Amino acid sequence: MLLKTADDVRGIRVACKLAAEVLDYIAPFVEPGITTGELDRLCHEYMINVQGTIPATLHYAPPGHFPYPKATCISLNDVVCHGIPGAKILKKGDILNIDVTVIKDGYFGDTSRMFFAGKPGIQAKRLSDITYECLWKGILQVKHGAWLGDIAHAVQQHAEGAGYSVVREFCGHGIGKAFHEEPQVLHYGSPGTLSQVWSGMVFTIEPMINAGSRKIHGMNDGWTVKTKDRSLSAQWEHTVLVTDTGYEVLTVSPNMPHPPPFVAANK
């Protein structure tokens, strides 16, 4: 069902806050010298022991995939998404996306942010910032009656306007009592196309933006996706609720990054 009940929204809101709080928790550990596997282990421990949440990605096995082996996805530099945490040691200047999806009382919450190991290069920082703006350009389109194409177009226009490309093989998704539900939320397209969104729908917006070509290339581990040209890739993700007048970002937490300045100006 695309429209959530008030009870569903309450449950999803809790799960979403918890997912965002995992990212707050892990932020200070992201430093040169730590492995992605250790970051995952810390997140996993926090979910299980502190929050009482279940990591949704662990053993997640959509059709045609091996069960995903870890509690988070950690996608480093030219990894577009679904990087499997492991022995890789962070070096100064690395950029990484940490994507956390938790289950609490049967409800899912899904969010990801970019992090830097030490000080990022100017280009890496710009890619992350523009991608964050793309997410928010998409969020600002969300309201009762808006078209999924409006969201898609806003993201694509901002990314391409900055000289970047939008990955097309992955999209945002409805979420609630399941990890991936209808609708598909594309990050490229035209205004007034696809389908409309209505108050009570909950979905993610999660643009993957490449510094170079949009082409991607899957690794032999069955999960990790890289840019074909090895250019850097960035991603940010929020789960949002459609309301009568606009949107409510559900994946909120005390230390989440502020929205870009154009969001406040818009309100």
**Sites of contact with ligand MF3 (CB under 6 A):** 57, 60, 68, 73, 82, 99, 101, 110, 204, 206, 223, 237
Q: Which is nearer to Co ion, 75 or 204 (CB)?
A: 204
Which of ligand MF3, Co ion, none sits in contact with 141, Cβ below 5 to 8 A by type?
none
**Residue 239 amino acid letter:** T
CA distance linking residue 254 with residue 236, whole number of Å? 17
Nearer to ligand MF3, 45 or 221 (CB): 221
Single-letter amino acid, residue 127: L
- Interface residues with Co ion (CB under 5 A) are 99, 110, 112, 204, 206, 237
60: partner contacted, choices ligand MF3, Co ion, none (Cβ within 5-8 A by kind) = ligand MF3
Closest distance of CB 206 from ligand MF3, Å: 5
In whole angstroms, the minimum distance from the beta carbon of 173 to Co ion comes to: 6
CB of 192 to ligand MF3, least distance (A): 26
Q: Which is nearer to ligand MF3, 214 or 238 (CB)?
A: 238
Residue 161's Cβ-side half-sphere holds a number of Cα atoms within 13 Å equal to: 12
Question: Are 193 and 147 contacting, i.e. CB atoms less than 8 angstroms apart?
Answer: yes
Of 65, 116, 63, which is closest to residue 91 (Cα–Cα)?
A: 116
Residue 73 or 142: the one with the smaller Cβ distance to ligand MF3 is: 73
Residue 196 CB, nearest distance to ligand MF3 (Å)?
22
Which listed option, ligand MF3, Co ion, none, makes contact with residue 82 (CB within 5 to 8 Å by class)? ligand MF3
Q: Tell me phi and psi for residue 205, to 5 degrees.
A: -120, 130
Is 49 buried (19+), middle (13-18) or exposed (0-12) by CB count in 10 A? exposed
Give me the least distance between CB of 170 and Co ion, in Å please: 9
Residues pairing with 101 in the sheet: 110
Q: Which two tokens stand for residue 27?
A: 């932020």
Q: How far is the CB of 67 from ligand MF3 (least distance, A)?
A: 8
Neighbouring C-beta atoms of residue 145, cutoff 10 Å: 11
Closer Cβ to ligand MF3, 2 or 144, answer by number = 2
* Residue 117 vs 240, nearer CB to Co ion: 240
- Cβ 44 vs Cβ 102: under 8 Å: no
Separation between Cα atoms, residue 5 and residue 137, nearest integer Å: 27
- Residue 198's binding partner, choosing from Co ion, ligand MF3, none, with beta-carbon cut-off 5 to 8 A by kind? none
CA of 20: how far to CAs of 15, 26, 254, in Å? 9, 10, 9
